[in-house]
Structure 1
């Protein structure tokens, strides 16, 4: 039996046509990434860009707006004004990632388990790097963050320890990727619902990781960090606001 043209067409490996202004933004973004457009460089005017792309000025304006929202371009007024290329720093990238990840997690389109798995994939290798690369100042910073501190219930901020380990790894990209996950999880977790002994165990586990880093034992440090993150996984899944909200709705109750 011969397939009809309509049926055959449904199986064509085509890609949906995207709005033209997105294609303009994509091409300009590609020039930024490749280095053809560099920090501080002034872009041609909207009219000139419209001629280059063969589109209307409104289309160009929308494309530029996308890149400006991603803090890749900035527009200034005046005789010396125009649209200029901006190279984002690590903090800018982290904030952008935090917003994007937060929107996904807040809409329950990303589970707490996925966030924790991502943390593990970043932090365990970073722990090995920190063990091998940390200088004296890095060791002092990790040790200070691992030290038991006075705290009140759920107010303890234990992510500082993880940030110091990432910083000591010598790989800034790991920290850029991990810090937004920490910030999103901080908003997503009901820390007051953690077991009474949780923070004490966290401190003890941090000290175990630090002891191996200080002893320059990468295998021991990685094993200790992995065990610590597995413990966090167990507790954080239980105190995830999203999961508690679903359970309360199913049980006919609403959380405060």
Structure 2
């Protein structure tokens, strides 16, 4: 493990990156104890506080865990897909907010990714996934539901459809698409959307999932994409014609 003391990059960040690379390469394995702070400080020729900051960075990424006591120390952590969802969602949200990604581009990516799950969801969805989708359709149809609650239910519906594919790698990759992009789309279109139309399309998708009909799921997703784009384009057009 090496760092470049002449680099302008923060030393603790370099150390964290070097250790992370060792974990990714498999040279540091799950549950293996890392060298002590003193040993790492000697190895990298830095102060212990610098090492401590590097370990905090790794812990924040769930790459290591710390234990106290005589047998304690820092250990390589086993990351679950579920534990990594939050980081994926945060990264996707930041990318969308910090870069000039058009609504159309985000919408295209979000639905293209979800359509990839349709055939697998049709074949593998469980009774629990179906029940979750049905529950959200019922919730969305309630007349007193707030916009915020409707948005949360919308995300939960699509989360159940994606998870129905039974593939944790896909679920992880789609966490950002569903839980970062979907709220963005809802935030832009909620003032103009027809809830009854969305609920009806969600019902069709749930029916298709229950019938194990992948093409029908995709048909419903296509209709949702078209509805979302139509609403957004109408809103953007109206905003552009308003007097300054």
Q: Which range, TM-score by smaller chain?
A: 0.7 to 0.9
1:29 is the counterpart of 2:20: yes
Query: Is the contact made by 1:167 and 1:175 (CA closer than 8 Å) also made in structure 2?
Result: yes
What is the aligned partner in structure 1 of residue 4 from structure 2? Answer: none
Aligned to 2:40, which of 45, 49, 53? 49
> Relative to 1, partners in 2 of residues 1:129 and 1:50: Cα closer, same or farther, differing over 3 Å?
same
Computed over aligned residues only, the root mean square deviation of the Cα atoms, in angstroms, reads 3.2
Query: Which entry has the higher C-alpha Rg, 1 or 2?
Result: 1
> Relative to 1, partners in 2 of residues 1:181 and 1:218: Cα closer, same or farther, differing over 3 Å?
closer
Query: Is the contact made by 1:101 and 1:181 (CA closer than 8 Å) also made in structure 2?
Result: yes
User: How far apart, CA to CA, are the structure 2 residues paired with 1:233 and 1:88?
Assistant: 37
The within-5 A match list for 1:1-256 is 19=9, 21-52=12-43, 54-57=44-47, 59-107=50-98, 109-147=100-138, 149-152=141-144, 154=147, 155-156=149-150, 157-185=153-181, 186=183, 189-190=187-188, 192-195=190-193, 198-236=194-232, 252=244
Query: Is the contact made by 2:115 and 2:218 (CA closer than 8 Å) also made in structure 1?
Result: yes
Normalised to the residue count of structure 2, the TM-score between the two structures is 0.75
Query: Is the contact made by 1:25 and 1:64 (CA closer than 8 Å) also made in structure 2?
Result: yes
What is the aligned partner in structure 2 of residue 7 from structure 1? Answer: none
Q: How many residues align?
A: 227
Normalised to the residue count of structure 1, the TM-score between the two structures is 0.72
The superposition leaves residues 37-81 of structure 1 with CA deviations (integer Å, 9 ceiling, x where unpaired) of 3343321012322444x4323554443333122122233444443
User: How far apart, CA to CA, are the structure 1 residues paired with 2:14 and 2:29?
Assistant: 20
Identify unmatched segments of 5+ residues in structure 1: 1-16
> Relative to 1, partners in 2 of residues 1:201 and 1:37: Cα closer, same or farther, differing over 3 Å?
same
> Relative to 1, partners in 2 of residues 1:80 and 1:234: Cα closer, same or farther, differing over 3 Å?
farther
Identify unmatched segments of 5+ residues in structure 2: 1-6
The superposition leaves residues 78-122 of structure 1 with CA deviations (integer Å, 9 ceiling, x where unpaired) of 444322222233333111122222333334554444432332232
Query: Is the contact made by 1:127 and 1:225 (CA closer than 8 Å) also made in structure 2?
Result: no
> Relative to 1, partners in 2 of residues 1:33 and 1:214: Cα closer, same or farther, differing over 3 Å?
same
